[in-house]
Chain A
Amino acid sequence: AQTVTQSQPEMSVQEAETVTLSCTYDTSESNYYLFWYKQPPSRQMILVIRQEAYKQQNATENRFSVNFQKAAKSFSLKISDSQLGDTAMYFCAFMATSGTYKYIFGTGTRLKVLA
């Protein structure tokens, strides 16, 4: 069974600074996708970034980038130039491409951006 671990329950960062959120996962699958979702106080789950395991290049989306280390089963999210609107819960998620395509989520990291 796959598991996703987020070891940082809470983090804070000063506005305009950079912060990295950690995520590790455990799987025996070779093909899969990894995701970071943002959940602001509105409760809506918003996709931040996705990474396909067969791609060696790390995904980037504007101020958001990942450090994907497949051998170490690590998938961290870096937020550059943090903004007050980045304050939210962040969830790491895993989806294997064999079988039933279930999404497995970590327990989340609550990020607070300080003015």
Chain B
Amino acid sequence: NAGVTQTPKFRILKIGQSMTLQCTQDMNHNYMYWYRQDPGMGLKLIYYSVGAGITDKGEVPNGYNVSRSTTEDFPLRLELAAPSQTSVYFCASSDYGTVNTEAFFGQGTRLTVV
């Protein structure tokens, strides 16, 4: 099993550009999450989804959008990139109610906005 796969691993964007961070999981998990990690700030929840077609805002959703058309995929869209969105982004999935209650993470995307 590949687990949670994020692409790309690194990206440099210019201010005002847009991009989509891809996330896919092959564990048939219902719950998926997007976090951003800034130095000294831990992981902050951007958006999450409890199943296909259902998404909701987390702590820091401004400047981002998500969709969940399938169980496997949960892309994160950045519109009009700003320097404040420079961060490391993590996608995660979980399936509470099974033995595995923990979140499984992708390897992260380091995004720099210049």
Residues in A lying within 8 Å of B, measured CB to CB? 4, 6, 9, 33, 35, 42-45, 47, 50, 52, 91, 93, 95, 97, 100-108
A-B pair number, CB within 8 angstroms: 57
A66 and B49 CA atoms in complex are apart in Å by: 30
Residues of A within 8 A of B53 (CB): none
Is B50 in contact with A100, judged by CB distance below 8 angstroms? yes
Is B41 in contact with A107, judged by CB distance below 8 angstroms? yes
Is B42 in contact with A105, judged by CB distance below 8 angstroms? yes
- The residue in B40, B43, B96, B105 that gathers the most chain A C-beta atoms within 10 A of its C-beta is B43
Interface residues of B in 56-87 (CB under 8 A from A): 56, 58
A113 and B38 CA atoms in complex are apart in Å by: 23
Is B42 in contact with A100, judged by CB distance below 8 angstroms? no
A50 and B103 CA atoms in complex are apart in Å by: 11
A71 and B9 CA atoms in complex are apart in Å by: 42
The reply on B5 being an interface residue by CB < 8 A is no
Is A102 in contact with B105, judged by CB distance below 8 angstroms? no
